[in-house]
Chains A and B, each alone.
Chain A
């Protein structure tokens, strides 16, 4: 399974929750599969999906799922200690770890080599860290939602992309629509 397969299987589970989606193909794929007001698409700023999601979770009570990638977490490694030390039990960080920088041509990341993001998250102090296969991701997310515990999920999937159009929505429209869904 590649990332777009995981997102397609996951979409019905995400539907009732606030989602912060990583820059590039992940946002484009989610936008194509199931565009919703509860989705915040990052059009720029690689690495900050987890930070935006944590800030959002700390500021209000609804469940927040940040969909991140291994390359983006490596870009913003400082996020994991911040998450560990500012526990928000309405926050789930789903790292779709395909061992590559998918949006830029599938260059390999260190997460696909020696570096274990699950081990790093645990070492940073994150208390609930789950590593699962792509096939088990939907169940892992459902379990995390049901647990009411801040959870880091590392979903190990295959590298690869589908052809998707870029998102042409205006960023202020994305943000305004999303904030309406947060308040609803």
Chain B
């Protein structure tokens, strides 16, 4: 199974049926796989905080949501993560492209990469980092953990994991 199919398969196996996305070049394949899945309502968002609002509503409506976005979005969503997702104690798996790591061709992406883990740590968001392809084997457990503890949980996926850009 290719890595995008594996990710979507784990989401569906964990009853995730509502996924919002803001694109990143690295995430193009998994976003295509989400769009193609008959078990998932895919709702592209214009901004990641908007996407988190959609996910909060879907969760209260009885669906398990997830968001797929780039690490630059951490800068956009801090207020939403703190005053909506965490304050009301809602689960939210966040599959995040970790731009600005080894292999990155765009210098500006490094400027956010150096803050990404520090910001997530400051927000007390459980954070996992997929670097090798086999790290994806943990995804199923991470999703179960997210819906067990009702927290936003970050899964950072770097260029080595995605085999380049």
Interface residues of A (CB under 8 A from B): 20, 40, 42-45, 47-48, 50-60, 76, 78-79, 81-82, 86, 171-172, 174-175, 178-179, 182-183
In the A-B complex, the 5 residue pairs with the smallest Cβ-Cβ separation, listed nearest first, are: A55-B57, A44-B83, A59-B61, A51-B53, A78-B46
Most buried by A among B54, B57, B61: B57
Given A44-B84, A44-B87: A56 touches B46 (CB 8 Å cut-off): no
Consensus secondary structure, chain A interface: helix
| B135 within 8 A of partner (CB) | no
Docked complex Cα distance between A136 and B85 (Å): 35
Select from chain B the residue with minimum beta-carbon distance to A53.
B57
Which residues does chain B contribute within 8 Å of A48, judged by CB atoms? 49-50, 52-53, 56, 80, 84
**B93 CB → nearest A CB, Å:** 15
Select from chain A the residue with minimum beta-carbon distance to B77.
A45
Interface residues of B (CB under 8 A from A): 18, 41, 43-47, 49-63, 65, 79-80, 82-84, 87-90
Docked complex Cα distance between A82 and B41 (Å): 13
Q: Is the CB of A56 within 8 A of B84?
A: no
Given A54-B54, A55-B65: A179 touches B47 (CB 8 Å cut-off): no
Docked complex Cα distance between A82 and B22 (Å): 12
Given A175-B89, A182-B62: A78 touches B50 (CB 8 Å cut-off): yes
Docked complex Cα distance between A174 and B60 (Å): 11
Given A45-B79, A175-B90, A183-B62: A59 touches B18 (CB 8 Å cut-off): yes
Q: Which single member of A56, A81, A171 contacts B88 (CB below 8 Å)?
A: A171
Most buried by B among A20, A43, A175: A175
Which residues does chain B contribute within 8 Å of A52, judged by CB atoms? 53-54, 56-57, 60, 84
Q: Is the CB of A82 within 8 A of B50?
A: yes
Given A56-B61, A59-B63: A43 touches B87 (CB 8 Å cut-off): yes
**A169 CB → nearest B CB, Å:** 11
23 A-B interface contacts by CB (under 8 A): A44-B84, A45-B79, A51-B52, A51-B54, A51-B56, A51-B57, A52-B54, A54-B54, A55-B18, A55-B53, A55-B57, A55-B65, A56-B58, A56-B61, A58-B43, A59-B63, A60-B62, A78-B47, A79-B50, A79-B53, A82-B50, A172-B88, A183-B62
